[in-house]
Chains A and B, each alone.
Chain A
Amino acid sequence: MPSKVEKWKDEVYGNEIREHLMEFAEKGWDAIPEDEHDAWFERFKWWGLYHQRSGQESYFMMRIGTPNGVIKPGQLEVIGEVAKEYATGPVDNPEFGEAYCDWTTRQSIQLHWIKLEDIPEIFEKLEAVGLGTQQACGDSWRNIVGCPVAGKDKHEHVDAWPVAEDLHETFKGNDDYSNLPRKWKVAIAGCDEGCGQGDINDLAFEPAEKDGELGFNVRIGGGLSRKEPRLARDIDVWVPPEQAADVAHGMSALFRDHGDREDRFNARIKFLMDEWGPEKMRSVLQDDYVDFELETAGEDMRDQYSYNTGSQDGHNDHVGIHEQKDGNYYVGLNVLVGRMGADDVLELAELADEYGSGEVRLTQRQNIIVTDVPEENLDEFTSEPLLENYSPDPSPFMRGSIACTGTEYCSLSIVETKNRQVRYARWLKDNVELPEDHKDFHIHLSGCTASCAQPQIADVSLRGMKTRKDGEPVEALDIGLGGGLGDDPRFADWVEMRVPADEVPGAIKNLVNNFKEAREGGETFRDFVEDRDEETLAEMVDPEETDYHDPYMHNTKMTWYPYAEDDDMQASPAPTNGQGEPLPSDD
């Protein structure tokens, strides 16, 4: 029996949702029939709108999909303006103020507290500069990710940006693929650093050479969610750049037709890959979904990958100043947990115009890159006061931090994430000394097992949990170690479970000190973890209270907003009308 969501999708889905959305927006929140809330909120996702969690009814998270993270000249200013004007809630965030943008792990943008009534105006502003929210959520082709410096990078073998842009144009709004069984995440990269992170996507194109020609090898079925992490598997196919779209058509049609529509928990293609294996996946693709002979895989460049590998050399991220192949520079700025105040966004838009081409790009590590800066502008640009907070040369604990949305807005969450990770990073910076040769140390915090912050591929993985302290329930984290990508990708080992959140910084401090003492020669942290058994590692993670203070121990999900003075669920102003005034609620 098809799931309920499938029934709703059969009735209305894809592009046609927009006219309904606009009509509701014109009439106001109350116009959505009460017994159709669930169906419409499920559908609105396709247009990038995700209803916020309990206690925040009538407010939406809005996701803007920027393929490959590319924000073209003129777009950042509009993003900042939209955030400032519309993404303001009833209460400020104590770390980030009243309006901000989130740069996400899939090179997209998230705004919060969006009111239904404002959506037509917002769409108009975004679309006027070529931005949009279409298919940013929902069962569709999601934002395409890739090497954020595609077309600029010296390590590039194939320029993947035109291919990514072509895929974006081809599959956005394409009715043939607008109703998939589940989300469909695609990565494409042409560099030898591995920064497309193809291994954790449904469909990955990775640079490879075949008979002297450069193109892509294809991998299928990666993803991290639900304690069922999978690495994408090699299906032994190579395509030249001009055929990438044909294979993408074929694979997404295969998924559309064969993905599980009865059980959403089993719908992602990684589960079909479990069932079929790569040989069958390839042969079904060949026989039913492409009309040319597929080539076998070419020679890949995986042994050169350095992105998020813990190797301590090469490109573990894009922070810092790097020369482009045209002689200009790109300047990667660290954005702690990916959140940037709207005023800062507006200022950065001006600086990017002044010192670069006006273009900026988002990375999968929640950071932002200003591209095309001529050498003679570098000194002046990097001495701008704004760059004190968004540094191209931050502490490893600041640059290595990633955090998801968490209890602030997300209905799946178990714990508070972003503000906590900000406090962790600051405390670690002041209290923990990494070995001299460790410039990269990645700590990823996800509020639940959906793994939006990609915890399994970090040096230290943190995942939302609960425990009791003196009998009282408190927010806690599972701690995993030693994950990362590269030629030999590895998911973290979960070694210490349900650590009260206020003891996690102490645990990391002890871990780092134990690592410094016990490491042999120049052993990297990642190798160190790989070479030791779980028990030994668990002993090295020694949770303890320190002078770190955590204001979010108190089950923040039970509040309407964790940082409100009166955070009780009953004190919520939601749902509200277009002016943000409380409406009578049915429950």
Chain B
Amino acid sequence: MTTDVHQLDDGAWISVNDSREVNVSDLWLLARSDFCGCETTDFLAEGFVKVGVDYPDIQARIAGQCIACGESGVTDWLTVGRVVDPESGEFYGVVHESVHFPEKRTRLAHPEE
């Protein structure tokens, strides 16, 4: 089965194979990002703007704000979890409190809305 990923309810959460997996309101630590001037961005996720699959990664661009400096905007692509075995479709979320590295990308395997 192909991995089905989308954001719903105005970007409130990410659905992976019809299961609610990643929610707004969590804090993510972003390193080496140019989101704001802070060394690590203390990022409050307020809405999922774009989601996609880059096997095995489930990725998203998230609208939100650095709660340390107040800069707001949309992140580059962040890996929010993995579906290692597309047959089972099981989703393994990343630990959002640990440090993440957003990446700029030009290619997306399966872009979704």
Taking the nearest CB of chain B, how far is it from the CB of A193, in angstroms?
Answer: 32
In the complex, whether A297 has a CB less than 8 A from a CB of chain B is no
Query: Given B9, B18, B46, B65, which contacts A411 in the complex, CB threshold below 8 Å?
Result: B9
Query: Given B11, B12, B18, B91, which contacts A37 in the complex, CB threshold below 8 Å?
Result: B18
Contact B112 A4 (CB under 8 A): yes
Contact B25 A414 (CB under 8 A): yes
Residues 263-294 (chain A) with a chain B CB within 8 angstroms: 263-265
In the complex, whether A449 has a CB less than 8 A from a CB of chain B is yes
Query: Given A265, A449, A468, which contacts B67 in the complex, CB threshold below 8 Å?
Result: A468
In the complex, whether B113 has a CB less than 8 A from a CB of chain A is yes
In the complex, whether B31 has a CB less than 8 A from a CB of chain A is no
Query: Given A37, A264, A407, A558, which contacts B10 in the complex, CB threshold below 8 Å?
Result: A264
Contact B17 A35 (CB under 8 A): yes
Contact B65 A465 (CB under 8 A): yes
Residues 1-48 (chain B) with a chain A CB within 8 angstroms: 4, 6, 8-13, 15, 17-20, 23-27, 42, 44, 46-47
Measured in the bound complex, the distance between the Cα atoms of B19 and A54 in whole Å is: 10
In the complex, whether A19 has a CB less than 8 A from a CB of chain B is no
In the complex, whether A156 has a CB less than 8 A from a CB of chain B is no
Residues of B within 8 A of A38 (CB): 6, 8, 15, 18
In the complex, whether B56 has a CB less than 8 A from a CB of chain A is no
Measured in the bound complex, the distance between the Cα atoms of B32 and A330 in whole Å is: 62
Interface size on B, residues (CB 8 A): 30
In the complex, whether B49 has a CB less than 8 A from a CB of chain A is yes
Contact A264 B24 (CB under 8 A): no
Residues 511-527 (chain A) with a chain B CB within 8 angstroms: none
Residues of A within 8 A of B86 (CB): none
Residues of B within 8 A of A4 (CB): 6, 112-113
Contact B18 A36 (CB under 8 A): yes
Contact B65 A265 (CB under 8 A): no
Residues of B within 8 A of A414 (CB): 24-25, 44, 46
Measured in the bound complex, the distance between the Cα atoms of B51 and A169 in whole Å is: 40
Residues 84-113 (chain B) with a chain A CB within 8 angstroms: 91, 112-113
Query: Given B10, B23, B42, B112, which contacts A54 in the complex, CB threshold below 8 Å?
Result: B23
Contact A466 B67 (CB under 8 A): yes
Residues of B within 8 A of A450 (CB): 10
Measured in the bound complex, the distance between the Cα atoms of B20 and A449 in whole Å is: 21
Taking the nearest CB of chain B, how far is it from the CB of A250, in angstroms?
Answer: 27
Taking the nearest CB of chain B, how far is it from the CB of A270, in angstroms?
Answer: 15
Subset of 10 A-B contacts with CB under 8 Å: A35-B18, A38-B6, A53-B12, A54-B13, A264-B10, A407-B25, A412-B47, A448-B46, A466-B67, A558-B25
**Residues in chain A within 8 A of chain B (CB atoms):** 1, 3-5, 34-38, 42, 53-54, 57, 226, 263-265, 407, 411-414, 448-450, 465-468, 473, 476, 497-498, 555, 557-558, 586-587
**Residues in chain B within 8 A of chain A (CB atoms):** 4, 6, 8-13, 15, 17-20, 23-27, 42, 44, 46-47, 49, 65, 67-68, 70, 91, 112-113
Given known contacts A3-B113, A498-B70, what 5 new A-B pairs fall within 8 Å (CB)? A1-B113, A34-B18, A36-B18, A449-B47, A450-B10
